Amino acid sequence: MEILSIKNLLPGFLRHLEEERSLSPHTLRSYRTDLTRAGRYWGETRSVKEIDRFAIRRYIATLTEAGLQPRSIHRHIAAMRAFFRYLVREGVLETNPARALALPRLERRLPRFLTEKETERLLEKPFPKTPKGVRDRAILELFYATGGRISEIAGLDVDSFLEGGRLVLFRGKGEKERIVPLTDIARNALEAWLQKRPAIASPAERALFVNLRRGTRLSVRGLRKIISTAILRRTGRRAGPHSLRHSYATHLLNAGADLRAVQELLGHSSLSTTQTYTHITLKRLKRLHARAHPRA
């Protein structure tokens, strides 16, 4: 009889996350890494039925002693909560021993973003008229025009657009759908790419952005490299794809956009997540106030 250890139950849990909850590859890797570490700690012969809340607390204490930062410990606890909740759902356990674990308080990080001038340098410097140049410009314009996540952009197909290309349909975390309007500049960049795409894409490939050599869907890794390289060469900043999402949100709020509208555009389930960007706008307003107010 197979032992109900973390090692033996982990593959089924990861399939559940991928197929039913549609979590990103990055999240799946994090859960696999964290739970594999926990599995090694308790051993392959330890049944999950023997792991109670006291055993989990002792394990968390070893992570603290090993020097892990609160953010990493927060992630480990979240992984165990989800794993044991899955085991309860599957009937392996009656209760979730990780449910009552307290999550460490985390300092909210201000997201990195490009200034409006840096964004202009990124997008307005001429791109080569080659297929690569046309594709890369379309990628960058689409990121900044929609604030899409990298996994959402990578998952777009040629038919992911509505109303003649004026709207884009994203499938975000958990297969949640949202519709985001496109700017005219982004539409023009995409139309230029779609004229080049047929000569490059494989016949049956439906992906919007494809690898220039194989003609198949451009991976998240490929997208990240394109964007990070372009930002560094054009602005001198070391930043990745998520900085464009942060820039999109920050620039909208700086221009007076409604917070709840930005929440909907970004696909945030919680308004508090979107409110992170208000810290940036408030810092900017404070600086302006200090410079402009006669008695500041």
Write the DSSP assignment of 73-102 as a string of letters.
Answer: HHHHHHHHHHHHHHHHHTTS-SS-TTTTPP
237 domain-assigned: yes
- Please give the structure tokens belonging to residue 77: 């606890």
Predicted local confidence at residue 108, as pLDDT: 60
Whether 36 is in a domain gets the answer yes
Same domain, residue pair 122 and 78: no
- Domain co-membership, 132 together with 263: yes
Domain boundary among 44, 72, 89: 89
Domain at 133, CATH number: 1.10.443.10
Q: What are the φ/ψ torsions at residue 147 (nearest 5 degrees)?
A: 70, 25
The reply to whether 106 falls in a domain is no
Q: How many domains does the chain have?
A: 2
Nearest-angstrom CA–CA distance, 244 and 223: 13
Domain-embedded: residue 18? yes
Q: What is the pLDDT of residue 254?
A: 82
Sequence-ordered alpha helix ranges (H) in the chain: 6-19, 25-42, 53-65, 70-89, 116-124, 131-146, 150-154, 184-196, 220-235, 241-254, 259-266, 271-274, 276-292
CATH number of the domain residue 45 falls in: 1.10.150
Maximum Cα–Cα distance for the chain, whole Å? 79
Q: Are residues 69 and 187 in the same domain?
A: no
Provide the domain limits for residue 59: 6-89
Looking at residue 213, what DSSP letter applies?
A: T
Predicted local distance difference test score (pLDDT) of residue 68? 86
**How many residues belong to the chain?**
296
How confident is the model at residue 292, as a pLDDT? 64
Domain end (from 73, 89, 105): 89
Question: Both 283 and 195 in a single domain?
Answer: yes
- pLDDT tens by residue, the chain, 296 residues: 577 889 889 999 998 888 777 677 778 888 899 999 998 998 878 898 999 889 999 999 999 898 888 888 888 998 999 999 999 999 999 989 988 777 766 556 556 788 889 999 999 999 999 999 999 999 999 999 999 989 899 999 999 999 888 999 988 666 678 899 999 999 999 999 999 999 999 999 999 999 999 999 999 889 999 999 999 999 998 888 888 988 988 888 888 888 888 888 888 777 776 766 666 555 665 665 576 656 65
Q: Is residue 250 part of a domain?
A: yes
Secondary structure (3-state) at 281: helix
The pLDDT score that the predictor gives to residue 4 is 87
**What pLDDT is recorded for position 17?**
85
Give CA separation, 273 vs 7, 33, 111, 249, 278, in Å. 34, 25, 11, 11, 10
Query: Do 74 and 120 reside in the same domain of the chain?
Result: no
- The DSSP symbol for 163 reads T
Residues 133 and 24 in one domain: no
Catalytic positions are 149, 173, 242, 245, 268, 277
